[in-house]
Structure 1
Amino acid sequence: MTGAEFVPLSLPPLLIGICAAVACALPGNFLLLRKQALIGDAISHVVLPGIVIAFLFTGSVSAWPMMVGAALASVFAVVLIEAVRRLGRIEPGAAMGLTFTTMFAGGVLLLEQSDTSTVHLDVEHALYGNLESLIWLDAVGWQSLADPAALATLPVELPRIALTLMAVIVFTWLFWRLLVLSTFDDSFALTLGLHTGWISLALVVVAAVAAVAAFDAVGSIIVIAMFICPPASARLMTNRLEVQIAWSVVFAVISAVLGYVLAGYGPLWLGSDNAVSAAGMIATVSGVILASTALFAPCRKRAGAPRH
């Protein structure tokens, strides 16, 4: 593939996949250490009915109505989980699982019963995303990267997920100390006069924002995989938190790049013309990385929390 072909066909989807993977992996590290990794799975499911309802009210799939609908659905899910937990007197994990599967099933039913024929919004889109079609139609080569007119026609998903990634990085950097203290020793943080309850809520909100921003472009499969697989793989590589964060970013980037390349060229290398989902392949690569670290990582046999 020449540079003139690569820029419009592969660069935007590849960058979107990388940004989405890293944006989900960063908060995923703290959720994993807090034993709340299922929250990422729950968020990626409960946003679907919010997105569909927003479409039914507005008749379009523009970004802001979708984000508002997904955010409201996330808030409703949190309230519902707490209500189910208290009224049903069941453990939080069971309440969470019941809520997100029910809401996701409701979103699928709404999609199937709604008239979405005029827009790209369906069950397959919700699961696999829209990554392959996010090409840069007005790009003519690498020189387009310096052309303001061409840059104005970039897929809107790229600046959106890039800004989300920057927000996640800034949040992690600004509140690093609070995140670490509330994750490893909440009682000690309280003795220092630090009220860490709000940082736990903020972490969930940031994870929800990352999931919602990535949902439209890459679908729920990548969102779920990236919240769990890169952080879990990184956890097996080191016993230091800072190094774990770095490893999770590396694994997320490798998953996105290698998965996208294998989805595009893997079938051709095997002599097949059948298309392969980029989102599914990226998630598969992240799973293979996790399996490999579980077998060969240097810290796979140690116990206890990482040092920080």
Structure 2
Amino acid sequence: MTSGLAIILIALATAIASSIIGLFLVLRKMSMLIDAISHTVLFGIVVGYLLVKDINSPLVVLAATATGVFTSWLIELLIKSKKISEDAATGVVFPLLFSIAILLVSSPATNLRNTNINVDSIFIGHIELASIEQVTIGMLTIPSNLILPLVVLLINLLFISIFYKELKIVSFDVALAQVLGFSPIIIHYLLTTLVSVTAVIAFNLVGAIMVVSLMIGPGATALMITKDLKKTLFVTVIIAVFNVLVGYLIGDFFVLPISGGIAVTTMIVFLIVVILNPKSGIMINIFKRRKLKYVYKVVAMLVHIRNHSDADDEEEEIALDTIVPMLNWDTKEFKQIYEYAINKNYIKVENNILRVTPEGRKFKETYL
């Protein structure tokens, strides 16, 4: 297996595992918790490594996962005190644990500077080196760093399959979940545990930046495309795969960190959907507002014509050569609205007097 293919497979497994589990926290408007966990697991990694002196030890994963769950619990504790908001609680907890971890990594006393736990790898990872160690399983030789992401991916898929109904209800209506007998707290901490495990595995390979972008970006992007949960999961996976492939090409072509390329691609794809989404994108909203503004001017002209039709002042108010000042429009603006209304057969001209047609009345009643 070539180095490039190995890196892509590792990144794909990590991206899919991260995005599908992160989607449910995004649905619950808890994206900041993802950001917090993806950073605070470093504290658990560092503490676990200092205890066992082996970064590949299961105890390191266990310590980092416990730190992620502890982060969630501590944030919940601060929120329940009702003295601090959710975002403020997150902003207090995660910088505290993350900064302690950075201090431990940077301290000469811990002797971590010469290991693969260093400030550079914390933020951008070392996925470029992930394909070096290979293992042979039967006739197949694969990177050893691919195994854990695949295991986590399978666990996440199994969890979502088993608890899909519970996750759906808890994500959209916590009160209903309680009425139906589900425990939102149990689902929350199971989800938090899986997010922590996924973050730990991804953290060592791709760094904090990519963990956050992969857990939040694809899901947030997919939710702007569809609101159906099953379709959202599918679109999330498609977007995650696309981001990885394009990000890898960017990193490889420009000789840049691949995790950074994937994170940048994730942001670009998100912004493209924000701007160009045909359902609720910025561009379509601008177009709709302009069209609505245009439509309201047409309706205003139709109302004015209708109000003064057959009145004593109709020759002054709705005559073709006198209506412009009565509407308080400029000539250019009136010409555009007039031509549009004529083309749509909303108005007609009789003896230089404007009249509303039946089609015009129907159009006016649609907006009034």
TM-score (norm. length: structure 1): 0.85
Alpha-carbon offset, residue 118 of structure 1: 4.6
Question: Aligned to 2:112, which of 116, 119, 127?
Answer: 116
What is the aligned counterpart of 1:183 among 154, 171, 181? Answer: 171
The structure 2 residue matched to 1:104, chosen from 94, 98, 102, is 98
Structure 2 residue 65 is the aligned partner of structure 1 residue 71: yes
Tell me how far 1:194 sits from its aligned partner. 2.9
Which residue does 1:89 correspond to in 2? 83
Q: Which residue is equivalent to 1:41?
A: 35
Pick aligned residue for 2:222 from 217, 234, 243: 234
Quote the offset at 1:78 in angstroms.
3.0
Take 1:86 and 1:185, find their aligned partners in 2: how far apart are those partners? 19
Compute the displacement of 1:255 (Å): 0.8
224-233 or 82-91: which moved more?
Answer: 82-91
Q: What does residue 270 of structure 1 align with?
A: none
Partner of 2:159: 171
* Counterpart for residue 278 of structure 1: 258
Matching residue's letter, 1:195: S
Cα pair distance change 1:137/1:36, threshold 3 Å: closer
In 2 relative to 1, CA 99–264 (structure 1 residues): closer, same or farther, beyond 3 Å?
same
Alignment-derived partner of residue 293 in structure 1: 273
Root-mean-square deviation over aligned CA pairs: 2.2
Report the residue type matching 2:120 in the other structure.
Answer: E
Maintained 8 Å contact 1:190/1:196: yes
Q: Give 1:130 shift.
A: 1.2
In the superposition, the TM-score normalised over structure 2's length comes to 0.71
Gaps of 5+ in 2: 285-368
2:44 alignment partner in structure 1: 50
Q: Residue 234 of structure 1 contacts residue 248 of structure 1 at CA under 8 Å; is this kept in 2?
A: yes
2:19–2:236 Cα contact (<8 Å) kept: yes
Q: What is the aligned-residue identity percentage?
A: 27
Contact 2:41/2:67 (<8 A) preserved: yes
**Structure of larger gyration radius:** 2
Aligned pairs, number: 281
Question: Which of 24, 27, 36 pairs up with 1:30?
Answer: 24
Q: What letter is aligned with 1:293?
A: V
For the pair 1:193 / 2:181, whether they are aligned, the reply is yes
CA offset at residue 175 of structure 1?
0.6
Which residue identity is paired with 1:147?
M
Structure with the higher strand share, 1 or 2:
2
Which runs of structure 1 show a deviation greater than 3 angstroms over 4 or more consecutive aligned residues?
Answer: 82-88, 136-139
User: Distance in 2 between the 1:102 and 1:190 partners?
Assistant: 33
Shift of 1:298: 2.5
**Deviation for aligned residue 1:147:** 2.7
Structure 1's unaligned 5+ residue stretches are 1-6, 268-274, 303-308
Q: Would you say the 8 A contact 2:68–2:192 is kept in 1?
A: no
Q: Tell me, in whole angstroms, the C-alpha distance in 1 between the residues paired with 2:137 and 2:251.
A: 25
Q: 1:181 to 1:138 in 2, by over 3 A?
A: closer
CA 1:108–1:173 in 2, change beyond 3 Å: closer, same or farther? same
* Aligned twin of 2:128: 132
Letter of the 2:139 partner, please give it: D
Instruction: Tell whether 2:244 aligns with 1:250.
Output: no
SS at the partner of 1:89? Answer: coil
How far did residue 156 of structure 1 move? Answer: 2.5
Residue type of the alignment partner of 1:178: E
Does 121-130 or 284-293 show the bigger shift? 121-130
The one-character-per-residue Cα deviations of 1:51-91 (angstroms, maximum 9, x if unpaired) are 11111122221141320220232233234324444568111
